[in-house]
Structure 1
Amino acid sequence: MNLTALRNTGHTRQISHRNSGSSHGPIVRLMSPSDFGQLLKPFVFLDLFDAPSSFLGQMPVHPHSGIATVTVITEGNMHFDDPDAGSGTIGYGGVEWLRAGAGVWHGKELSSGTSARVQGFQLWLALPAELESAPVDSQYLEASATPQVGPARVIVGRYEGVQSPIRAPAGVNYLLVTIPAGESWTYTPPKGHRTLWLCVSRGAVHTPDKIESGEMVVFQPGHQALTLEAGNRDAVFVLGSAFPHPYDLKLGYYSVHTNDEALRAGEAKIAEIANRMRQQKTARQASASIPVFK
């Protein structure tokens, strides 16, 4: 399908916002809860990382509450090791899911794999009220366990009748897509998914407007399908769609909740875990082990 035909499909949802983010070393921050997260909630945070695999060893142990983090790999691989969820390798199409819920400290469960470099995305999802204070839930899927529909890996949610094994709340889709050079693909959001965005990690796509590598775009709210065409090389991107999150975002430093009371409880739980870590001296051990502190 050429760009003229793409314009004539009627699947040309208008882009409302573009962002190339801000760099912090090997990480590009594309969305935070205080900016695009207000438009796209429950999607509230997005980082694109591209670095030597050794940078994973520099990640500090840090807390979260009220959210789920979703890490997907677009190039290279990582090793995972979690006392509750096993060990293995996450490559292209693999995923780490961590529902922080009531509160968690983590940061050492992922380490260098066999590749010299690694590229991928970390996304935060604001949890609904019934899950924001729930127990911690970790899942790791190797690529072979991530279902695929055409060029799309279903990381979170349900697409074209295929359900991701990730235990995410309903009403959210998150896909990892590779479109071969010169080919096109159409995404039809499930009914009620008015929020839609994507971010390209390699190559470029046309809507027909061009979206470059490293760029995130937000589409006008609506229900229309979206047709995308790759440029002169394979295009790799993540795409999210969802029911709008009906809550205001109550923000802590590493936390997002639906109300002030839940935020206070989450931050208190984070502090209690930190105190327990100090008492048990596990914070020092974390530099050599691979814990998730609950």
Structure 2
Amino acid sequence: MSIRPTLETRAAQQTMEGAGVKLHRAFGFQDPSELDPFLLFDDFRNERPQDFEKGFPWHPHRGIETITYVLEGTVEHGDSLGNVGTLGAGDVQWMTAGSGILHQEMPNGNAKGQMHGFQLWGNLPSAQKMTAPRYQDVTAKDIPVVTDDDGTTVRVITGEFWGKKGPVDGIAADPQYLDITVPAGVRKTFRIDTYRRAFAYVFQGSAAFADASAPSGVLLEKEVGGEEVNIRDLSGDRTLIRFGTGDEVTMQAGPEGVRFLLISGAPIDEPVAWHGPIVMNTQEELRQAMRDLNNGTFIKPAH
């Protein structure tokens, strides 16, 4: 077994999207190869309705998949295909934009006016860029939850983990998307296939993530699997941890425990031409998408 080194730890940056939604962006609109096949990750968490209620009005997507995971409040959505619905707390929507879709997402707070959710963008390989759009809406009750003897709890949104398989399937990057809660002080190792790119996002409590390549002077913990493991500083709320190659991630929860997302997927390794919500392989494909938007042919007829 080899522990994945921590390549980078960074705080999500505050930004604004849609019609004025305040959110924190962990990555996006920079180097698309960094976490290939994933392009962008946003944490939209607000205590005041005025910071999110204007939402994300009608906008296009092509060439990507958007994954929305709601923790608090609701998100009402509608699209150019006539689909409408509402995501509640614990629900997930996996939208494959494919050849093109126009949609809107309008968040609403819970009884206390609070809203919290995440959106992840996954790239599509060139062979699937122009596939027919589709949705996978998954309710909270359909997401399997597994609990270990030490109190560690994992919601398996997609992929297989600890004998459970997430309900989302047929995704190009064959991703694993886990929502993990680890009690205070508990040390845990999670297996990840070596060929995947992987990151963690801490959104509650704190944790130290093991790094076999950490420099001397960093706190040295006990051996794990015969390998000495160094622990970097605790990573707290709204922190992205980007991992190198290896087949496991080892961490230890901080004094108040930790809740984090652990997400991995198979890299696509293709050229990326990216403009806003449209991600293709070439600049000409981007220009064609813009022409389609302008002349009313962006939405392709179903075959």
Task: Provide TM-score, normalisation by structure 1.
Answer: 0.78
- Structure 1 residues 53 and 211, CA, compared in 2 at 3 Å: closer, same or farther? same
- Structure 1 residues 108 and 225, CA, compared in 2 at 3 Å: closer, same or farther? closer
* Residue 161 of structure 1: how far off its partner (Å): 4.2
Q: Structure 1 stretches (4+) deviating beyond 6 angstroms?
A: none
Counterpart Cα distance in 1 of 2:160 and 2:283: 31
Deviations 1:15-50 (A, max 9, x none): 111221321253112211423x32111111011111
Structure with the bigger percentage of helix: 1
Unaligned runs of 5+ in 2: 17-21, 148-152, 210-230
Counterpart Cα distance in 2 of 1:250 and 1:138: 24
Residue in 2 aligned with 1:91?
Answer: 89
Counterpart Cα distance in 2 of 1:270 and 1:165: 33
Q: Could you tell me which amino acid in structure 2 is paired with residue 91 of structure 1?
A: A
Match among 126, 131, 134 for residue 128 of structure 2: 131
Counterpart Cα distance in 2 of 1:110 and 1:130: 33
What does residue range 23-102 of structure 1 map to in structure 2 within 5 Å? 23-24=14-15, 26-35=22-31, 37-51=32-46, 52-53=48-49, 55-74=52-71, 76-82=72-78, 87-92=85-90, 94-102=91-99
SS at match of 1:60: strand
- Structure 1 residues 49 and 88, CA, compared in 2 at 3 Å: closer, same or farther? closer
Counterpart Cα distance in 2 of 1:34 and 1:213: 22
Unaligned runs of 5+ in 1: 1-9, 277-294
SS at match of 1:57: coil
1:234 aligns with 2:250: no
* Residue 122 of structure 1: how far off its partner (Å): 0.9
Counterpart Cα distance in 2 of 1:82 and 1:19: 34
- Structure 1 residues 85 and 105, CA, compared in 2 at 3 Å: closer, same or farther? closer
* Residue 224 of structure 1: how far off its partner (Å): 2.3
* Residue 82 of structure 1: how far off its partner (Å): 4.5
Residue in 1 aligned with 2:199?
Answer: 197
- Structure 1 residues 33 and 154, CA, compared in 2 at 3 Å: closer, same or farther? farther
- Structure 1 residues 273 and 108, CA, compared in 2 at 3 Å: closer, same or farther? farther
SS at match of 1:107: strand
* Residue 110 of structure 1: how far off its partner (Å): 4.8
Task: Assess if the C-alpha contact under 8 Å between 1:180 and 1:230 holds in 2.
Answer: yes
Counterpart Cα distance in 2 of 1:265 and 1:254: 14
Match among 275, 278, 285 for residue 252 of structure 1: 275
Task: Assess if the C-alpha contact under 8 Å between 2:173 and 2:268 holds in 1.
Answer: no
Residue in 2 aligned with 1:217?
Answer: 241
How many residue pairs get matched?
262
Q: Could you tell me which amino acid in structure 2 is paired with residue 118 of structure 1?
A: M
- Structure 1 residues 115 and 108, CA, compared in 2 at 3 Å: closer, same or farther? same
SS at match of 1:130: helix
Task: Provide TM-score, normalisation by structure 2.
Answer: 0.76
Deviations 1:117-153 (A, max 9, x none): 1222111000122221111112221211112333222
Task: Assess if the C-alpha contact under 8 Å between 1:22 and 1:28 holds in 2.
Answer: yes
